[in-house]
Amino acid sequence: MTSNFKSIIENAYQHTKPLKDQGKLATYIPELANVNPDKLGVHMTKIDGTSFGVGDHLEKFSIQSIAKVLSLALAVKFLGEKIWTRVDVEPSGTKFDSLLLLETYKGIPRNPFVNSGAIVICDILISHLENAREEFLEFVRDLSDIPNLTYSDNIADSEKATGYRNVALCNFIKSLGNIKNDPAEVLDFYFDMCSLEMNCEQLSRTFSFLANGGKKLNDGKKILTSSQTKRLNALMLTCGFYDESGEFAFKVGLPGKSGVGGGIVALYPNKYTMAVWSPRLNANGNSFKGMKLLEDITTHSEMSIF
């Protein structure tokens, strides 16, 4: 990592840390309310393998919806193009847990990153894998190089106890014919998937295959074809930030994905991935300081895809 990049990241952190943040924790998952809201960390991994982080970048947090990109990657790897008959590729323009458009589009979610879409992806994985819960975990262990990665029972149980909207979404899609398995089994897997925890360093490394044409950085193992990689990156750009995806492209200018745990991962194809974490969320459910910090980095480095 060049000293120039290090100082851009360091400065962005120093600019962002003191900002007044009126955002709120995602308390609708009770376990997420126990997090220190003032945490802030950032880590960049370049595709030459060098990496650099500042602040709370080595502290684990709940990656939540960021995991939806990884479940989609596994589903695309197994199913290829057939997957797009079950889930669309359009921004939803509605909240991440909205039921609204499902009736209009006959149970086909607008994209794989809103909750309804990610629930359908879980259903697809259950239909095609012997043990989707274990095989997905193995897949992420391999991508992240964290051999002992496990689901967080505390977070999954906390969400299972209160996830009424997700239960409603899954049952509604089932009634429209686009969930093939038992809704209870699909939801269990969905909640487990969202319960994974990583720190910014691990998250930026895990996503580096998407900045590297579909190949893992450390051993060159091919995870996705370059065309599949292009598709996932395009979906992150257009649908990765709930109904604030336009704003993120406008301000930061990179494909990425956020989660209600306050994490964001963003990447520049063939150059780098970055992960940030700051738990207070803005009104659209994205990390307030996370977005500010990334905007500062791409502005000062003049490195956005645009």
Instruction: Tell me which residues touch ligand GLU (CB under 6 A).
Output: 64-65, 96-97, 115, 159, 166, 194, 259-260
9 or 125: whose CB is closer to ligand GLU?
125
Secondary structure of residue 54 in the 3-state scheme: strand
The span from the CA of 38 to the CA of 22, in Å, is: 11
- Strands of 147-296 (E only): list them: 197-198, 256-258, 263-268, 272-277
By C-beta, is 45 or 65 nearer to ligand GLU?
65
Q: Would you say 172 and 29 are in contact if contact means Cβ atoms under 8 Å apart? A: no
- For every residue of 74-108, DSSP letters joined together read HHHHHHGGGGGGTS--S---S-TT--HHHHHTTT-
162 versus 225: smaller Cβ distance to ligand GLU: 162
Q: In the complex with ligand GLU, which residue's Cβ is closer, 159 or 197?
A: 159
Query: From the CB of 75, what's the least distance to ligand GLU, in Å?
Result: 17
Least distance in angstroms from the C-beta of 121 to ligand GLU: 13
Q: How much helix, strand and coil, in percent to the nearest 5, is found in the chain?
A: 50, 10, 40
Q: How far, in Å, CA of 143 to CA of 233, rounded?
A: 17
Q: How far apart are CA 71 and CA 67, in angstroms?
A: 6
By beta-carbon distance, which residue lies closest to ligand GLU? 65
Which of 206, 266, 195 is CA-nearest to residue 32?
Answer: 195
- Judged by CB, which is closer to ligand GLU: 97, or 123? 97
Nearer to ligand GLU, 166 or 199 (CB): 166
